[in-house]
Amino acid sequence: MNHLLTIGDLEADQIQSILDLSAELEKNPKSVLTGKNIAFVFEKPSLRTKVGTEVAINHLNGNVIPIDADLIFSSGKAVPFTSRESLKDAMMNVSQWCDAVFARVYSHNTLKKMADYGEIPVVNALCDQHHPMQALADLYTMQQKFGKDQKLTITYVGDANNVAFSLIEIGLKLGHTLKFSGPKEYSWKEEQLGYFSLLAVEHGGTFIQTSDPFEAVYETDLVYADTFISMGEEHLYDEKIRHFEPYQVNEKLFSQAKSSAGFLHCLPAHRGVEVTDEVIDHKNSWVYQQAKNRMIVSKGVFATLLTGVKTEIQTNGAVKVPS
C-alpha cells in the first residue's frame, strides 16, 4: 500500500498482516523506523491518535515532526490553499524532508489532495468520512478477546459517522456480521448501503440495519458506541439529542447482549449521554485496552508503509519479523 486513507484501501490479508506485525513489534520491538521522520499535521484535537501513534513511532526509533496545521491548511477550513502557499507546494516541501505524513483533517478531500500532491505516504488520522486507525485498533481488540478465527456479531448503536463507517468496512472485510442501529434521520445513504452489501457478498460477512436498538443488540458479541455529536457538530446538540435519546447504551440495553459480550467505545465518551457509567465501567468494557491498541496498531501501519517489513508465519504458527 502507498497510503492509508481508508480501510477500503486494504485487502483482508493486508489488514491481518498489519495486525500480526503490530502484535510482534509490540512483543519484540525493533528499530525498524530508524532514520524515518513522520510529519504530524492535525487540524482537529486529538489525544489517543496523536499520543498513541507518537509513542509507537518512538518505540520503533522513528522521529515525529510536528507541523502547525496553519502552515499546511487554512485554519479550521478544508480548502486546498492558504494565504501563505498552496497545499501542493506545502506537500512537495514536506516530501523533501519527511518520509510520511500523519494527518487529521476536516475533509477527506483534503487527504486525497495531500496524497496526490506529495511524494510520500499519507496516513489518515481521522477525517469527516473515515477513521481507519481506529478500525484497526477495534479489530485488534476483538481478536485479542475472541481469537482470529471466530466470526462475531458486532452491533454499533448511534450515529452513522466516520467511526461507524470504518468499523463496518473492516468487520465485513473479515467476514463478521455487522449490525447498525440509529435514528433514520441520521442513517446511511443508499450508496453507502450498497457498498456495505457488496462488501458482505465479496467477503462472506453480513450487514443488518434496524432502527430498534434492542433488536440490534440482542445476543450480540460486541456493543459499540460513539459520541452522538461529532467534532464540528456542537451547534446541532439539541436537535441530535432529541433523535438519539433512545439509542443510549445503558444497562437495560446492554443486558440484551450475550452475557459474555464486550463493550467498545472509540473515546472520548460523554458519560450519561451515549453511554452510562454502568456500561463503560462494566467488567466487560474494554475501552482502555482498545485505546492502548491505538498505539500498537500504529506500529504495524508505519512499519509496513515505510520499511516494507512483512510478517513471516513460522511452522509453529508464530509470527516472526525479519531482522
CATH number reported for the structural domain that contains residue 138 in this entry = 3.40.50.1370
Say whether both 139 and 273 belong to one domain: yes
| pLDDT (average), residues 228-252 | 88
Span 264-279, pLDDT tens digits? 999 999 999 999 999 9
What pLDDT band is residue 253 in, cutting at 50, 70 and 90? very high
Residue 143 has pLDDT above 80, yes or no: yes
The predicted pLDDT at position 309 comes to 61
Q: Does residue 318 lie within any of the structural domains?
A: no
For residue 297, what is its C-alpha cell?
496498531
Instruction: Encode 279-301: b = buried (16+ Cβ within 10 Å), e = exposed.
Output: bbebebbbbebbbbbbbbbbbbb
| pLDDT (average), residues 159-181 | 98
Residue 313 has pLDDT above 90, yes or no: no
Please report, rounded to a whole number, the percentage of residues in the chain having pLDDT higher than 70.
Answer: 92
What is the crossing angle of helices 12-27 and 287-307, to 10°?
100
The one-letter amino acid at 129: Q
For residue 216, what is its C-alpha cell?
440490534
Say whether both 268 and 298 belong to one domain: no
Say whether both 46 and 103 belong to one domain: yes
Q: Does residue 141 lie within any of the structural domains?
A: yes
- Provide CB contacts within 8 A for 105, sequence distance 6+: 41, 43, 44, 73, 78, 111, 126, 127
Q: Does residue 316 lie within any of the structural domains?
A: no
Number of domains present in the structure of the chain: 2
Q: Does residue 185 lie within any of the structural domains?
A: yes
Span 9-28, pLDDT tens digits? 999 999 999 999 999 999 99
What is the crossing angle of helices 12-27 and 162-173, to 10°?
100
39-53, 68-82, 124-138, 307-321: range with lowest mean pLDDT: 307-321
Say whether both 121 and 144 belong to one domain: no
Say whether both 250 and 187 belong to one domain: yes
Domain that holds residue 207: 134-289
The predicted pLDDT at position 74 comes to 55
Q: What mean pLDDT value characterizes the chain?
A: 92
Let me know: does 231 contact 45? Beta carbons within 8 Å.
yes
Let me know: does 132 contact 124? Beta carbons within 8 Å.
yes
Say whether both 138 and 276 belong to one domain: yes
Q: Does residue 188 lie within any of the structural domains?
A: yes
Say whether both 138 and 285 belong to one domain: yes
- Determine the Cα–Cα distance for residues 62 and 68; give it in Å rounded to an integer: 20
For the chain, first and last CA: distance in Å?
A: 21
Strand partners, 39: 65, 101
Residue 78 has pLDDT above 70, yes or no: no
249-253, 295-299, 319-323: range with lowest mean pLDDT: 319-323
Q: Does residue 2 lie within any of the structural domains?
A: no
Nearest partner of 174 among 16, 8, 2, 3, judged by Cα: 16
For residue 307, what is its C-alpha cell?
520499511
Say whether both 271 and 300 belong to one domain: no
Say whether both 139 and 253 belong to one domain: yes
| pLDDT (average), residues 62-84 | 72
Say whether both 259 and 299 belong to one domain: no
